């Protein structure tokens, strides 16, 4: 590898994904912070041994820093989040970068593989649907041939259209998930696995609304539009409204299980479709809050784990005869991270060292 092939975009994403400063990376490489700043702007470079020191410090394979192309500006260059307003910008920047690293990993994993599905993603201009996110959601449900009623497994539906879904623990509960277009032209949904299923489902539908409607800048509020899309996509008015007429609090658990939407989401959606008035919604919200459900709702929904990435990994391991170590290197991730984030297993470095009874010295031998 020659030094002029160092990719400044990848370099910066790798640093930010580990939450490290330019100064810390400079110390690790034995160079100044100023030089690291120049490297990230494409105005400077590092010697191979300095890149190797940075790779070791950030715990990434050195080859990753030489990956060609941009990773921040992919497809329509859109990046969307569903988050709480109190999420610190520093944390968001780190998780953004982590998703861009996953974009690199997924690109390498899917090289040579074809994603076969019976659906495809669409970009639909809300202006062509009367400016209504609700009408866009209805159009997409029709295009995907979805019957009226609940969607039993939203993750499987997204994957059936070639979407990439990755769920990892973000280390906080203030960011639910994010999305962008990958360098292979597939949408990537990066989700917080620490979030309950009902919130993840709404997040996926919300992000799907962004990806479907917001290829171009919106004249309205994109977040409100994405939420309106999500409500209609998950709970179509025509099917949902009859189930929530005369809504009472004791009906919320069954409705949550049926629609696979949070109890609070059921209340919000019922008001949105006009099945209940604002006064009734406020009363139900108060009952919900008084029980402490704003922090953790009961009646947990079954999870909807993604399978597409796992299937691609299995193809490499079983059909192409890769070892775990070889595949981790091929997708440009360290082995421990490959085990935890891609295989969902305890990494070899953390596995307990089991000693057989036959390997232990006997009392007689100890004499």
CB 81 within 8 A of CB 211: no
**CATH code of 13's domain:** 1.10.260.40
Asked if residue 233 belongs to a domain, the reply is yes
Whether residues 136 and 283 share a domain: the answer is yes
Closest CA to 181 of 107, 89, 82, 234: 107
Q: What is the pLDDT of residue 42?
A: 93
| Positions in the chain short of pLDDT 50 | 1-3, 74-77, 354-367
Please count the structural domains in the chain: 3
Mean confidence (pLDDT) of the chain: 90
Whether residues 215 and 349 share a domain: the answer is no
Whether residues 151 and 265 share a domain: the answer is yes
Asked if residue 272 belongs to a domain, the reply is yes
Q: What is the pLDDT of residue 352?
A: 67
Whether residues 159 and 114 share a domain: the answer is yes
Asked if residue 318 belongs to a domain, the reply is no
Q: What is the pLDDT of residue 135?
A: 97
Q: What is the pLDDT of residue 86?
A: 79
Structure tokens at 327: 């595949």
Q: What is the pLDDT of residue 2?
A: 42
Between the alpha carbon of residue 203 and those of residues 134, 165, 211, 362, the distances in Å are: 16, 12, 12, 58
Q: What is the pLDDT of residue 333?
A: 96
Whether residues 339 and 211 share a domain: the answer is no
Asked if residue 105 belongs to a domain, the reply is no
Whether residues 269 and 135 share a domain: the answer is yes
pLDDT per residue over 172-209, tens digit each? 888 999 998 876 778 999 999 999 999 999 999 999 99
120 lies in which domain range? 110-290
Whether residues 332 and 285 share a domain: the answer is no
Angle between helices 263-272 and 222-234 (to 10 degrees): 100
Asked if residue 261 belongs to a domain, the reply is yes
Asked if residue 249 belongs to a domain, the reply is yes
Closest CA to 311 of 290, 342, 332, 333: 342
Whether residues 135 and 47 share a domain: the answer is no
Asked if residue 15 belongs to a domain, the reply is yes
Asked if residue 101 belongs to a domain, the reply is no
Whether residues 169 and 221 share a domain: the answer is yes
Q: What is the pLDDT of residue 57?
A: 98
Backbone angles phi, psi at 145, to 5 degrees: 55, 50
Whether residues 144 and 266 share a domain: the answer is yes
Q: What is the pLDDT of residue 367?
A: 41
Q: What is the pLDDT of residue 183?
A: 67
Whether residues 270 and 330 share a domain: the answer is no
Q: What is the pLDDT of residue 197?
A: 97
- In sequence order, the 6+-apart residues with CB closer than 8 A to the CB of 288 are 249, 252, 263, 264, 267, 294
Q: Are strands 79-83 and 187-192 parallel, antiparallel or unpaired?
A: unpaired
Q: What is the pLDDT of residue 34?
A: 97
Whether residues 180 and 39 share a domain: the answer is no
Helix (H, G, I), strand (E, B) or coil at 177: strand
């Amino acid at each position: 590898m020659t030094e002029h092939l160092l990719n400044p975009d990848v370099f910066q994403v790798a640093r930010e994904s580990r939450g490290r400063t330019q100064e810390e990376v400079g110390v690790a490489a034995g160079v100044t912070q100023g030089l690291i700043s120049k490297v990230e702007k494409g105005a400077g470079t590092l010697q191979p041994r300095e890149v190797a020191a940075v790779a070791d410090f950030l715990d990434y394979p050195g080859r990753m820093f030489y990956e060609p192309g941009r990773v921040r500006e992919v497809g329509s260059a859109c990046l969307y989040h569903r988050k709480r307003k109190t999420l610190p910008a520093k944390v968001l920047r780190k998780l953004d970068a982590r998703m861009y690293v996953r974009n690199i990993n997924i690109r390498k994993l899917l090289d040579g593989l074809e994603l076969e599905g019976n659906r495809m993603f669409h970009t639909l201009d809300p202006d062509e649907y009367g400016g209504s996110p609700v009408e866009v959601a209805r159009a997409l449900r029709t295009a995907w041939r979805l019957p009226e009623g609940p969607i039993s497994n939203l993750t499987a539906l997204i994957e059936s259209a070639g979407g990439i879904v990755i769920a990892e623990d973000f280390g906080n509960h203030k960011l639910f998930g994010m999305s962008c277009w990958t360098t292979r032209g597939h949408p990537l949904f990066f989700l917080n696995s620490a979030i309950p299923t009902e919130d993840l489902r709404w997040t996926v539908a919300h992000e799907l609304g962004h990806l479907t409607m917001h290829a171009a800048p919106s004249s309205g509020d994109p977040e409100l539009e994405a939420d309106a899309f999500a409500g209609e996509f998950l709970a179509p008015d025509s099917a949902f409204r009859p189930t929530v007429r005369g809504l009472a609090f004791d009906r919320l658990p069954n409705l949550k299980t049926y629609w696979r939407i949070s109890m609070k989401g059921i209340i919000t959606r019922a008001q949105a479709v006009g099945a209940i008035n604002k006064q009734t919604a406020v009363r139900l919200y108060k009952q919900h809050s008084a029980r402490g459900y704003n922090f953790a709702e009961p009646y947990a929904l079954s999870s909807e784990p993604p399978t597409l990435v796992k299937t691609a990994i299995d193809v490499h391991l079983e059909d192409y005869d890769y070892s775990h170590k070889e595949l981790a290197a091929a997708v440009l991730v360290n082995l421990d991270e490959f085990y935890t984030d891609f295989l969902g297993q305890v990494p070899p470095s953390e596995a307990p060292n089991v000693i057989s009874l036959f390997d232990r010295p006997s009392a007689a031998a100890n004499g």
